[in-house]
């Protein structure tokens, strides 16, 4: 295993830190915490954010000898996440309140590329949550109601919308307060591009208890639309939990906790009354969906759209014809809380068709249901086949492109994983020391990588043939992060070390000889007077 070390930084920093412990007037830099936010991948680089230094360390893994760069981010960074569909990391910073001798600094969002270039947008308020749309163009910053804003006063219904394809300028970001009926945002969901009022739109749907708020991202100057899901006198705290978009028919379907109904919002074209008014208006309808509906999926053509809903409380599936407004109840032998639509054959037909797998991950069911969607309304239970797995399911990892689903079970002598073949409808056990929740796909979904907590071995399954393997590294592994870019597949194993320690594994040749270790990179430039600003 090749080792790249930054020991000159480690030894100098540690020696000076020890020498200065007896000094009365120590440099403030030696008081700073070395804590980092959980690192993320940005293309072929790994990005670490050090809040105390307000900087990001970019470890470029595109070459045999990794390159390390430090770049400045906004004060008090609280969140870093990879930008969807782009080789960038997004760093959300709350800014500086200011104190004696320290000027206040605004909150900001910084995009960091794999090459270490940055762009920054000033947000103003100290937001602590981010949501991105499906292609990574738009991001919304908002206040997560489970965390403190760290300010004497703040508006929990304020949001900032950033167009990441545009530079910071007047109108980007758009900062506004969404209308409230006494609640605060619980989350944000973005629509895919859908035709509304005759033109393509991307909508942001802000989820709050008992209501949702719609914002048109293509026309950010227009006012938001808030839709109540209950009557004013209804005190139920129904929390919208899932949104499914019908992009062909300008419709969205909402499932909410504490409700047995689905909520249907159809976006009708209207003539705007002013420049800031919208050219669409939602209408609200409700559909009965059994007892405690837990998941839903759309299928069928644009003129024959149907909903498949599973409701564990009533132990059934429901097929709702959204055009004819009819509902077909299909009883299930096995309780289900998840729907997986897939195209594939069956044991009785080699023809690839749209089918459904219904299952539960709540640790209460040991069987799954296959559903033939063709003629389901007339055949009902005749189109359902139940497959017993013999062990309750508490995790699932669908791989429909491979024609399989991996299920996790409470540890047992017969294996803690099952590999379900969707076409053959058979299940085979796989022995595993780790849970599926810790598994990571590589960039092209050719392999699945796992590591047990505090263990030194990195395991993998080749998804082309489901052959397992493992490699022993030199230190316990805390996490696994696949990185993209270039022609090779690489996986980074993280090790617990304040100065930064990783092992880069070649995903195409998983051997110790092809792996390389890098340590000490978080100390690079720590003692330089001219740190990145």
Of the segments 154-158, 415-419, 426-430, which one has the largest average pLDDT value?
A: 426-430
Domain that holds residue 188: 2-287+434-523
Task: Assess if residue 295 is contained within a domain.
Answer: no
Task: Assess if residue 274 is contained within a domain.
Answer: yes
Q: What is the model's pLDDT at position 4?
A: 72
- CATH value at residue 492: 2.130.10
Q: What is the model's pLDDT at position 234?
A: 84
Q: What is the model's pLDDT at position 529?
A: 40
- Residue 108 near residue 122, CB atoms below 8 Å: yes
Rounded to a whole number of angstroms, the CA Rg of the chain reads 26
What's the half-sphere exposure (Cβ side, CA atoms, 13 Å) at 67? Answer: 9
Task: Assess if residue 501 is contained within a domain.
Answer: yes
For CA atoms 451, 452, 457, 460, the dihedral sign is negative
Task: Assess if residue 465 is contained within a domain.
Answer: yes
Q: What is the mean pLDDT of residues 485-494?
A: 82
Summarised one tens digit per residue, pLDDT across range 134-150 is: 999 999 999 987 656 66
Task: Assess if residue 163 is contained within a domain.
Answer: yes
Percent of the chain with pLDDT over 90: 77
- Our measurement of the distance from residue 453's CA atom to the centroid of its chain's CA atoms, rounded to an integer in Å, reads 22
Statement: residue 20 has pLDDT above 70:
no
**290 phi, psi to nearest 5 deg:** 80, -160
Percent of the chain with pLDDT over 70: 90
Task: Assess if residue 190 is contained within a domain.
Answer: yes
Statement: residue 483 has pLDDT above 80:
yes
Q: What is the model's pLDDT at position 25?
A: 55
What's the half-sphere exposure (Cβ side, CA atoms, 13 Å) at 285? Answer: 10
The count of structural domains within the chain is: 1
Confidence band, pLDDT 50/70/90 cuts, at residue 17: very low
Q: Strands 516-519 and 2-5: what pairing?
A: parallel
**Helix/strand/coil (H/E/C) assignment for every residue in 323-349:** CCCEEEEEECCCCCCEEEEEEEEECCE
Task: Assess if residue 219 is contained within a domain.
Answer: yes
Enumerate the H helices of 50-95 as residue ranges: none
Task: Assess if residue 370 is contained within a domain.
Answer: no
Query: What's the token pair of residue 361?
Result: 């991950």
Q: What is the model's pLDDT at position 533?
A: 44
Q: What is the mean pLDDT of residues 330-351?
A: 97
Q: What is the mean pLDDT of residues 110-122?
A: 97
């Amino acid at each position: 295993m090749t080792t790249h070390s930054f020991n000159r930084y480690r030894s100098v920093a540690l020696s000076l830190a020890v020498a200065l412990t007896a000094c009365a007037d120590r440099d403030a830099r030696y008081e700073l915490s070395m804590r980092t936010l959980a690192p993320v991948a940005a293309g072929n680089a790994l990005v670490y954010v050090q809040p105390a230094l307000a900087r990001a360390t970019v470890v470029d893994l595109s070459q045999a000898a990794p390159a390390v760069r430090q770049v400045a981010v906004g004060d008090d960074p609280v969140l870093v996440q990879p930008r969807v569909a782009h080789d960038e990391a997004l760093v959300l910073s709350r800014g500086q309140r200011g104190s004696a001798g320290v000027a206040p600094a605004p909150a900001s969002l910084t995009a960091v590329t794999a090459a270490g270039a940055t762009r920054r947008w000033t947000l103003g308020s100290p937001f602590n949550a981010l949501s991105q749309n499906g292609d990574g163009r738009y991001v919304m910053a908002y206040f997560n109601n489970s965390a403190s804003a760290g300010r004497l006063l703040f508006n929990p219904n304020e949001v900032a919308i950033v167009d990441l394809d545009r530079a910071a300028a007047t109108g980007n970001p758009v900062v506004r307060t969404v209308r409230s009926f006494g609640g605060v945002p619980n989350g944000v969901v973005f629509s895919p591009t859908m035709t509304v009022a005759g033109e393509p739109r991307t909508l942001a749907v802000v989820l709050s208890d008992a209501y949702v708020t719609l914002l048109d991202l293509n026309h950010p100057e227009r006012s938001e639309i808030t839709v109540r899901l209950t009557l004013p006198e209804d005190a139920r705290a129904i929390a919208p939990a899932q949104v499914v978009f019908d992009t062909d028919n300008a419709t969205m379907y909402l499932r909410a906790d504490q409700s047995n109904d689905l909520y249907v919002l159809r976006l009708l074209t209207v003539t705007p009354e002013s420049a800031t008014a919208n050219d669409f208006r939602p209408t609200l309808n409700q559909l009965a969906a059994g007892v405690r509906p837990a998941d839903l999926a759309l299928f069928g053509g644009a003129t024959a759209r149907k909903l498949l809903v599973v409701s564990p409380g009533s132990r059934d599936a429901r097929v709702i014809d959204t055009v004819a407004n009819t509902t077909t109840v299909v009883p299930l032998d096995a309780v289900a809380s998840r729907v997986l639509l897939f195209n594939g054959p069956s044991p009785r037909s080699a023809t690839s068709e749209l089918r459904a797998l219904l299952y539960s991950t709540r640790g209460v069911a040991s069987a799954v249901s296959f559903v033939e969607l063709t003629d389901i309304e007339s055949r009902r239970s005749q189109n359902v086949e139940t497959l017993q797995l013999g062990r309750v399911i508490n995790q699932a990892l669908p791989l429909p492109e491979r024609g399989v689903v991996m299920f996790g079970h409470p540890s047992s002598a017969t294996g803690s994983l099952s590999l379900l073949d969707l076409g053959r409808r058979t299940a085979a056990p796989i022995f595993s020391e780790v849970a599926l929740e810790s598994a990571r796909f590589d960039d092209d979904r050719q392999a699945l990588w796992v590591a047990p907590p505090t263990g030194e071995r990195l395991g993998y399954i080749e998804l082309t043939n489901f052959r397992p393997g493992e490699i022993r590294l030199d230190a316990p592994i805390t996490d696994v992060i696949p990185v993209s870019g270039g022609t090779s597949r690489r996986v980074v194993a993280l090790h617990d070390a304040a100065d930064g320690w990783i092992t880069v594994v070649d995903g195409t040749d998983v051997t110790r000889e092809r792996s390389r270790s890098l340590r000490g990179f978080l100390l690079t430039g720590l003692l330089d007077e001219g740190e990145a600003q």
